[in-house]
C-alpha cells in the first residue's frame, strides 16, 4: 500500500503528483496495465521468450563493443 502524507499548506495537486510518481516507482501502474486483459498461456510464453531473446542480443552487442561489465 502506498501512502503519501499531505505536507502543511501543500496543494492537493502536488500531493497527487507525488502519489502517482510513487505508484510508478513501485511498478503498480505497469502491473495494472499488464493484467488489464487476459493473456493466454501460449502468448505469455511467446512474450517471455521474446524478452529473453532481446536481452541476449543486447548482452551480445555489449560484449562485442567491450562495454560489458559484470
Average pLDDT of the segment spanning 21-44: 91
C-alpha R_g of the chain: 19
pTM of the model: 0.53
> pLDDT tens digit string along 40-65?
999 999 999 999 999 999 999 988 88
- Give the pLDDT of residue 9: 93
Average pLDDT of the segment spanning 23-42: 91
- Give the pLDDT of residue 70: 62
Amino acid at each position: 500500500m502506498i501512502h503519501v502524507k499531505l505536507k502543511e499548506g501543500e496543494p492537493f495537486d502536488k500531493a497527487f503528483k507525488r502519489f502517482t510518481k510513487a505508484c510508478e516507482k513501485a511498478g503498480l501502474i505497469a502491473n495494472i496495465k499488464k493484467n488489464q486483459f487476459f493473456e493466454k498461456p501460449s502468448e505469455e510464453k511467446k512474450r517471455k521468450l521474446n524478452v529473453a531473446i532481446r536481452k541476449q542480443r543486447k548482452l551480445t552487442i555489449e560484449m562485442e563493443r567491450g562495454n560489458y561489465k559484470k
